[in-house]
Structure 1
Amino acid sequence: MKTSKRFENAVRKLYLAFHEGTLNPEDCKQCAVGNILDNNDSWRHMTDLHGSTKLNYVGLVHQNLGRKFNGYSPIELLQIEASFLEGCGYRLGRTYCHKPDLYKNQEVLFNGLSEVVGTLSKLDGIKNIMDCSFLFDYEIKDKLNLQGA
């Protein structure tokens, strides 16, 4: 499968952060977007609420000027972060962001990363590399078994 450079760079950075223990949904430099942006937290000034997908004035200016940050637009960055937080069990609302108790648990972080990879795949218009549902598709397995018989 052919992927974009931004996708490959983002997944590589997130993989390293996960395995090096430097992934933290409560730290703007170590969250999904923070890691994608080389541990920079300037992206947080593009919205008024942690986990929001709504750009504020600063974010709108960057978006309307067509700015990209490591290949991603401001609205894409907010979508990536929201998917990470939701995957980690955060409840996001228009005016709040509720943090779960086990937000730094490895399984929780993995679930968040799975959501991020799905979002990154969607943004690039490629098949989600984390999707293994085809392994459980009985119709496909039945066809494969019939062909091998």
Structure 2
Amino acid sequence: MTTKRFNTAINKLYQAFHDNTLHPECCKQCAVGNILDHKEAWKHLSDHHGSTELNYLGQVHQNLGRRFNGYTPMELLQIESTFLVACGYTIPLHHKNSKPKNPTDKDVLFKGLSAVVSYLCKLDGIPDVMDCEALFKYETKKTVISQVI
């Protein structure tokens, strides 16, 4: 069973991926930017895009228990960090740090989104829908040895 925030986030990310409106370097079109309806206010929660450290404003919102489309400031930073790292960026974003040659390549974005979906599952305590290991599991026959006493 999934949560409302999970379903909403997944739908927005799915739409962005297929509409080609997903861009890791744009705070309105990255993973969190899409989850937050293309708003950029979330970028003021930390001092650097991709950072997992809340700045003073982020800490205030976190301590007040504020949520943005269901996510805490810390969760948003973790989501974005997960996305960027899986896309091949060294975080935080900086012109000297490594990044993918083509950040909007579908393969790059898919890797980023796969990691984000797995992380969203973890946040909500639901089975990882991106984990296909369960599809290939099979039962092994175990020999039952009974001991006679």
Aligned to 1:49: 48
Where 2:107 maps in the other structure, the secondary structure is helix
CA contact (8 A) 2:50 2:93 kept: no
Residue 99 of structure 1 aligns to a residue in which SS?
coil
Aligned mates of 2:134, 2:139 — CA distance in 1: 9
Separation of aligned partners in 1, 2:70 and 2:49: 21
SS in 1 for 2:79: helix
Residue in 1 that maps onto 2:18: 19
Task: Say which is worse superposed, 52-61 or 97-106, in terms of deviation.
Answer: 97-106
Q: Identify the residue that residue 63 of structure 1 maps to in structure 2.
A: 62
- Structure 1 unaligned runs (5+)? 144-149
Unaligned ranges ≥5, structure 2 = 142-149
Name the structure 1 match of 2:122.
122
Matching residue's letter, 1:110:
F
Whether the 8 Å CA contact 2:49–2:92 is kept in 1: the answer is no
Structure of larger gyration radius: 2
- 1:94 deviation in Å? 10
Q: Percent identity?
A: 59
Q: Is the CA contact (8 Å cut-off) linking 1:51 and 1:97 kept in structure 2?
A: no
Q: Distance between the aligned counterparts of 1:109 and 1:91, measured in 2?
A: 15
Report the TM-score, using the length of structure 1 for normalisation. Answer: 0.88
1:92 Cα offset (Å): 2.2
- Distance in 1 (CA, whole Å) between partners of 2:41 and 2:91 is 21
> 1:146 — aligned with what?
none
1:108 maps to a residue whose letter is V
